[in-house]
Chain A
Amino acid sequence: MIGHSLTRGLDRTALLVIFLLLAVAVLVPLFNLYLPPSSPLHVPSYVVALIGKYLTYALLALSVGLIWGYCGILSLGHGAFFALGGYAMGMYLMRQIGTRGVYGNPVLPDFMVFLNWQELPVAWWGFQYFPYAMLMIVLVPGLLAFVFGWFAFRSRVTGVYLSIITQAMTYALLLAFFRNNFGFGGNNGLTDFKDILGFNIQAPETRAALFAASAVALALGYLICRSIVYSRFGKVLVAIRDAESRTRFLGYRVENYKLVVWTLSACMAGVAGALYVPQVGIINPGEFEPANSIETVVWVAVGGRGTLVGPIIGAVLVNFAKTWFTTGALAPYWLFMLGGLFIAVTLFLPKGIVGTLAGLLRRERRASPSEAEAPTPNSEPPPSGGPVVNPSAAE
């Protein structure tokens, strides 16, 4: 049953996307590790780290695209789930430092020793174990999303009001994590990581593995989103997006559907954050900054809302542009460009890059002479799941 559910959305586009992501997962690390720097195909390590970061952003964008594009939930606080997943990973990495810290305390991370703490806070217990940390990466964002969604969707908070409270949620977390006595490193956050699963986190091989893990996670996230969107669940999501009260009158508990997809999306964002942290080497409260969440929404809008490839392409393109422009003479103007980009996309490409291209392609196909004649019902392929039937039976 689950097997069928996963393969349901696998058409040509989906297979191509997954193939490309897996190819990137294999080839980039290979070209980085085994080609000499003199080779034209050699990928320098800083590029591996950069693209690895983009891939985790893409996974975050995908999680936002799923709820915004398919269920109409505009989250302006998804960075919070990303950051929580990142913190969970950061806590594991902190506990791996052990006696190699400045103060050499085998249990307490440096900042706790500095604050004169004697014992490890309960929230940190178990984080020395990798499987436990992995569980928390999904569970903590998921649980927060579940509780938040439970109240918000049950009270039928929708539209801009929901967006505002998501923003408030991430801001509240930002303030909490900034405090030293909250127990997560205050404004310095968590950094100075040494190794992950026993491998040196700075080693090119580890970086390559983290890169590959990010690409595979993105491919898996895409596959999951695709299977959701192509199930009846996905059709109900779109129905909720377009006509929420009509969906209720069909007997669907809208709040339950929203809660499931919202929680799942938060878990995906958490995984993205967990892959992000070891690649950039730090997590601090700045990740809860509301502006980060808004930037994610811009990536989705640029790439194409209501598609799954769109958020991935949007995240990579915008971040590539960000890297490009913020390292040159244009650096001071980057935020203006980002704002301008959002306005331009809203005005001229309301469906984003992917949505607009798909529309053009469809029009082209319709205009081509071979298929210009109106297809009769007989010649049309059956819908997914629908049988081929004699249309005269419907007369």
Chain B
Amino acid sequence: MNEKAKNALLYLDGVTVSFDGFRALNELSLVIEPGEMRAIIGPNGAGKTTMMDVVTGKTKPDKGEIFFDGEIDLTRLDEAAIASLGIGRKFQKPTVFENQTVWDNLELALSGPRGPFSALFEVPSAEAAARIEEIFGIIRLGDRRHELAGSLSHGQKQWLEIGMLLAQEPKLLLVDEPAAGMTDAETESTAELLREISKTKSVIVVEHDMTFVRALDVKVTVLHEGSVLSEGTLDHVSDDPRVVEVYLGR
């Protein structure tokens, strides 16, 4: 392992994943520094979601290295272990527990012991309640706490899911298209929320919406056919003729 991997929070090197001969990821290499927020863009099928799948343990890479926090080899761990290390994931389609209340959703996500027996004999603590309140302060759903998560609007579900991510207290957040289906005002405040979160945590945002990426104002990585096409500021990648050809030009 090299120096670069040791200092990085997330380090991918030469990661390849194929499904039935189709290379979803092709020698992908990517380094996320601690405290960094990174936007990942790319046309459909560029490998954005597969990249998240390999980092979170849903898909095992055929080849390549993935290290978290310098030395933890993520390719050996399953989803639950990776989540417990401090990697949280928000799905493209908001996935909350619809039949449970907003409060319960956050309580389930709250970091803490995850074993069945501790969950069985756990006594609700004031500390946990205080942390949930704190998250309500950030995601602004405090007045919906007793309602079923399924009754929230699309945008509110996105926010609840971000709140659940925060409750996990991850070191790294993987956020898949947080602004999808949101109104302009919601998109604006989501960008603001992510900027706020990135002050204390590393964030990877996958997004299609260019206005949103511009609002984030962070380093951008462009994926194409499973590998990195270009990297830099949004203006830099927008000027890159290869990027213009495969993505922005269309």
Contacts and interface: CB of A to CB of B under 8 A. Distances in A.
Interface of A: 1-2, 4-5, 228, 231-233, 235-236, 238-239, 242-243, 245-254, 256-257, 260, 377, 380, 383-387, 389, 391, 393-395
Nearest to A1: B121
B97 A239 contact: yes
Contact of A242 (B79, B98, B133, B142): B98
7 contacts: A236-B119, A239-B108, A245-B79, A386-B103, A386-B124, A386-B129, A386-B132
B154 interface: no
- List the 6 shortest-distance A-B pairs measured between CB atoms, nearest first: A394-B142, A385-B124, A251-B83, A233-B119, A248-B79, A394-B136
A389 B133 contact: yes
A235 B116 contact: no
B83 A250 contact: yes
Contacts of B151: none
B140 interface: yes
B120 interface: yes
Interface residues of B, number: 46
B108 A383 contact: no
Nearest to B115: A256
Nearest to A387: B129
A5 to B, nearest CB: 5
B226 to A, nearest CB: 23
B108 A236 contact: yes
B91 A246 contact: yes
B201 interface: no
Interface string B136-150: 110011110110000
Contacts of B84: 251
A249 B175 CA distance: 13
Given A253-B114, A377-B143, A383 B79 contact: no
A260 B142 contact: no
B133 A5 contact: no
B92 interface: no
B1 interface: no
A387 B116 contact: no
A1 B123 CA distance: 7
B101 interface: yes
A251 B143 contact: no
